[in-house]
Amino acid sequence: MKTQTMNRDWIATAETLSSALPYLQRYDGAIVVIKLGGHAMGSDEAMETFARDIVLMRQVGVNPVIVHGGGPMINAMLEKLQIRSDFVNGKRVTDAATMEVVEMVLSGVVNKRIVQAINRQGGRAVGLSGKDANLITCDQADPDLGFVGAPADLDPKVLYGLFEKDMIPVIAPIGAGRDGETFNINGDTAAGAVAKALQADRLLLLTDVAGVKNGDGDVVTELKAADVEAMTASGVIAGGMIPKTETALDAVRNGVRACTIVDGRVQNSVLLELFTDHGAGSMIRA
Ligand SMILES: Nc1ncnc2c1ncn2[C@@H]1O[C@H](COP(=O)(O)OP(=O)(O)O)[C@@H](O)[C@H]1O
Ligand SMILES: CC(=O)N[C@@H](CCC(=O)OP(=O)(O)O)C(=O)O
């Protein structure tokens, strides 16, 4: 005969599951776009946890869409090939040789690592880039940056097809040009464009800081568009945070319900953000 005494941890687990019900109901059928940055990708264990969270989201009726970066992985390959690389305002100056490496790394190893991690957890992930099924057509962002793309036309039909088949799209931020060129898109920018095209319920930008910090270094958990503008004007929001908050503002002003800058280093941060009272970052609303 087996006996057991009730353990406090089990009761806490059951309480957590029970308290998630209103959130599970709220997000049933929702579209959630998640940007996974290169810095947030981390170890195989961290990737496994992230993948499990994504599969759980799909299991409870959310339609997750992953848009990834991979800046550090591109840097490593360019270094191996002894190709110099410069950034201007957080964007990589991309000549033809660099573009080849960017596409090879993002659409290749990085995309397939995420796809495989999700599939190993029992999901059905499909890797795409903006070139597939005309998902992202770009114009050149700025002649000084070379082949850096500004998403211009999005055709998200392929994504709806994948949702219907219970599949999880994993998108590399590469776009097609109108004259057959290939464009390198900043990962945050690509995620924002996809979220807008899908009129997503949530856009989560995973990064390696606790959230948007104010002048005292404290994380601000909720920001209105006007707060972001004031903090950017005063220089409190700077560097790599600028493309993120710009993307967030553009998204929430164009039909995305809310955007959160999430600390991707926190275990299960995506679940915490969606299914509990304890968000894991800074939420930006219009
Ligand atoms: N107000 C701010 N709050 C938080 N981080 C900020 C702020 N201003 C600038 N940053 C910088 O932005 C960085 C995040 O951007 P980035 O390194 O490009 O992220 P990722 O690699 O995840 O895309 C932080 O590590 C931090 O140094
Ligand atoms: C135009 C541009 O800068 N593209 C980025 C694309 C990858 C990216 O955005 O990666 P993270 O999200 O990891 O930073 C790059 O070449 O690094």
Q: What is the pLDDT of residue 286?
A: 86
Q: How far is the CA of 211 from the centre of ligand 1 (A)?
A: 8
Please compute, for residue 107, the number of CA atoms within 13 A of its CA located in the half-sphere on the CB side. 17
Is the reported ipTM for this assembly greater than 0.90? yes
Asked whether residue 178 is assigned to any structural domain, the reply reads yes
Asked whether residue 8 is assigned to any structural domain, the reply reads no
Please compute, for residue 21, the number of CA atoms within 13 A of its CA located in the half-sphere on the CB side. 4
Residue nearest to atom 16 of ligand 2 (CA): 92
Catalogue the active-site residues.
35, 38, 71, 188, 244
User: Was 58 annotated as part of a binding site?
Assistant: no
Asked whether residue 19 is assigned to any structural domain, the reply reads no
Q: Strand, helix or coil at 215?
A: coil
11 and 44 Cβ atoms separated by less than 8 Å: no
Residue 39 CA: which ligand 1 atom is closest? Answer: 21
What is the span of the domain harbouring residue 208? 27-285
The answer, yes or no, to whether any atom of ligand 2 lies below 6 A from the CB of 149, is: no
CATH code: domain of residue 97: 3.40.1160.10
Beta-carbon neighbour count of residue 61 at 10 Å? 12
Asked whether residue 148 is assigned to any structural domain, the reply reads yes
Asked whether residue 127 is assigned to any structural domain, the reply reads yes
Asked whether residue 6 is assigned to any structural domain, the reply reads no
Per-residue pLDDT of the chain (286 residues), as tens digits, is 666 667 888 888 898 889 899 999 999 999 999 999 998 888 899 999 999 999 999 999 999 999 999 999 999 999 999 999 999 878 999 999 999 999 999 999 999 999 999 999 999 999 999 999 999 999 999 999 999 999 999 999 999 999 999 999 999 999 999 999 999 999 999 999 999 999 999 999 999 899 999 999 999 999 998 999 999 999 999 988 988 999 999 999 999 999 999 999 899 999 999 998 777 799 999 8
Residue whose CB lies within 8 A of the most ligand 2 atoms, among 183, 186, 244, for a mutation test:
186
Domain tally for the chain?
1
Query: Could you give the CA distance from residue 217 to residue 214 in angstroms, rounded to a whole number?
Result: 5
Which tokens in the block code for residue 79? 């270094």
How does DSSP classify residue 133? G
pTM: 0.94
Asked whether residue 11 is assigned to any structural domain, the reply reads no
Q: How far is the CA of 102 from the centre of ligand 2 (A)?
A: 9
Asked whether residue 20 is assigned to any structural domain, the reply reads no
Q: What is the pLDDT of residue 242?
A: 86
Q: Pick the closest to residue 110 from 77, 143, 79 (CA basis).
A: 77
Q: Biggest alpha carbon distance in the chain?
A: 75
**DSSP code string of 49-95:** HHHHHHHHHHHTT-EEEEEE--HHHHHHHHHHTT----EETTEE-B-
